[in-house]
Every structure is written in structure tokens, then in C-alpha cells.
Amino acid sequence: MTIPDKRATDRASLLSRLEGVIGLDLRVRFTEFRSPSLLEIALESNDLLGLQAESGQDIMVEVPVGQGQFVRRRYSIVDLDPQAGTMSLLIALKGNGPGETWATHLQPGDLIDAVGPRGKQPVNHAAARHLFLADHSAFAATSQMVRSISSGHVHVVAAFPSTQDAMAFTASSSAVEIGVEVLSPVAHGDVEPFLAAVEALSAEFLAEEGLQCYLNAEFSIVNRVRSLLTDRGVAVSAIATKPYWRRNVANAPHGEPIKD
């Protein structure tokens, strides 16, 4: 038996060790700033025709790091249209990093090597009440997850680096009652505004039966907000978490933040 090399990030290695993903040869249609620090990469491909992905899932794209070397970075799938074979990525810009350099240099017609869909944090459609906490890097996933909910209550707490970067969250159905709390300006990775927002949530809201929480953000934000929610009585099983990046530490070559 061959033991897969968990460090290898080339397409063949990823496909051999990750279940349910396929190789995606994507072409850039256009790039456009949705806000001063949020860049849309619009993509097309025959590989997207018929593709099934859950809201909040992502793809692993190959990005260069110099000297012919590559790493993977993960970006959430936005507005997938499996009939047209199109989708977008929304890249939160923050100043450096191979993912950012790659994204900001893309031109229409450029080809992208990706694998996907990835991600195992689906929306709990049985829940009656949803609480999302997201930083700027998780706007893409959170906006898609919110839109996939067809009824009930949704409360979003989302941080943006500037007021000009604040983006709207919309529900796809009038049967969804949505409340959005925008935190801005918030420095990248600042946990305090999230903790204050969770402290301000009423005990009744957190004790409601059928509450599901989703924490998608920087590593420490995710961990500290999860602790605060559990301190406030929310069951661990009702809190789905996904760290997207880690303050002052580059993500690993496979695209995940480094764990302790």
C-alpha cells in the first residue's frame, strides 16, 4: 500500500488523498474590485458545468511562491452557476502573501489550477436560528451560506477593515428574518470587537432552542469567540468553526492556518 504524502500539494497528490474533489481548470473572465479591499475573480470552465457544491465550500487554487514552487490557497465558491459553468472568488486584500500577489496579478484569459469542492461545514438547515460571525476573509462564504437559508432567523456579525469595505448580506427568501451587525473599521485579526458583539447578545437569544452558530475568521478570533459562546451557555455541538488564517503566520502550503 502506498501512503499518501500529506505535504504534497500538486493536483495528482491532492486528488489521490482528498475524497470527493475533482481537478478544475479554470479561466479568468474578469477581475473587479467590489470594494477597496475586496477583489472579485470571475471564472469560467467546462469543469464547472454540473458541479455540485454546498454553500460555504471552497476550492484550493495553486499559487506561485517563486523559483518554480507553488502552494495552495483556499477561496470560497461564490455564485456558482453549474448551467453556465461560471463562479467567482472574493479575495480579501490585506497587503502581502502569495495568495494576494497571485490574485492581484490575474488577467482575463489566465488559467488557474484548482481542486474542489472542499469544506465540511455545511449550513444546518434544520436549525431555526443562525448566528454567523465572520471577518473580512469570510465574507464570501458567509454571504453564500446566508443566501442558502430559506426560513427562520439569521443574525450576522461581520467585520470589515474600513467603512468603505462594508458589504451587504441578503437573504434569498422573505421567510428569513435577517439582522446584520457590521463592525468597521476593524483591524485585521482584532478579536475585541467580536467579543464585545457576542457579550452584547441577549441571554434569551443564545438560549433559544435550535440555535446554530458559524465562526469563520482568523484563528484566535474563532477560538476566543467559541470559548465565550460556550461560557455563555451555547452547546459546543451548536458551534461550527473554521479558522481561515492566522495573525502574523502564513498559512501552510496546503492552505490551512498552522495549528498549535
Ligand X SMILES: Cc1cc2nc3c(=O)[nH]c(=O)nc-3n(C[C@H](O)[C@H](O)[C@H](O)COP(=O)(O)OP(=O)(O)OC[C@H]3O[C@@H](n4cnc5c(N)ncnc54)[C@H](O)[C@@H]3O)c2cc1C
Q: Given the rule CB under 6 A, which residues bind ligand X?
A: 58, 73-76, 90-92, 94, 96-100, 119, 136-137, 140-141, 188-189, 242, 244-251, 255-256
Neighbours of 42 (CB within 10 A): 17
Query: CB of 165 within 8 A of CB of 37?
Result: yes
- CA dist 22 and 12 (Å) reads 10
Contact 34, 61 (CB under 8 A): no
Smallest separation (angstroms) from ligand X to the CB of 68: 17
- The nearer residue to ligand X, 90 or 229, going by C-beta atoms, is 90
* The three three-digit cell numbers of residue 78, written as one number: 461564490
Please classify residue 137 by burial: count the beta carbons closer than 10 Å to its beta carbon, then call 0-12 exposed, 13-18 middle and 19+ buried. Answer: buried
User: At its nearest, how many Å lie between ligand X and the CB of residue 205?
Assistant: 27
Which C-beta is closer to ligand X: that of 190 or that of 234? 190
Query: Among residues 132 and 152, whose Cβ is nearest to ligand X?
Result: 132
> How far apart are CB 161 and ligand X at their closest, in Å?
8
**Cβ closest to ligand X, residue 85 vs residue 119:** 119
Please say which residue, 191 or 211, places its beta carbon nearer to ligand X: 191
Which residues lie closer than 8 Å to 213 by C-beta, 6 or more apart? 130, 131, 132, 133, 229, 234, 238, 239, 240
How big is the CA angle at 115 (ends 114 and 120), to the nearest 5 degrees?
A: 130
Cβ(23)–Cβ(10) below 8 Å: no
In the bound state with ligand X, the residue whose beta carbon lies nearer, of 153 and 242, is 242
Min dist. Cβ of residue 163 to ligand X (A): 17
Nearest C-alpha neighbor of 211 from the set 187, 195, 233, 189: 233
| Residue, CB closest to ligand X | 97
| Residue 95 beta carbon to ligand X: minimum distance, rounded to whole angstroms | 7
Closer to ligand X by Cβ: residue 75 or 152: 75
Nearest partner of 214 among 234, 231, 185, judged by Cα:
234
How near is the Cβ of 58 to ligand X at its closest, in Å?
Answer: 4
Smallest separation (angstroms) from ligand X to the CB of 72:
9
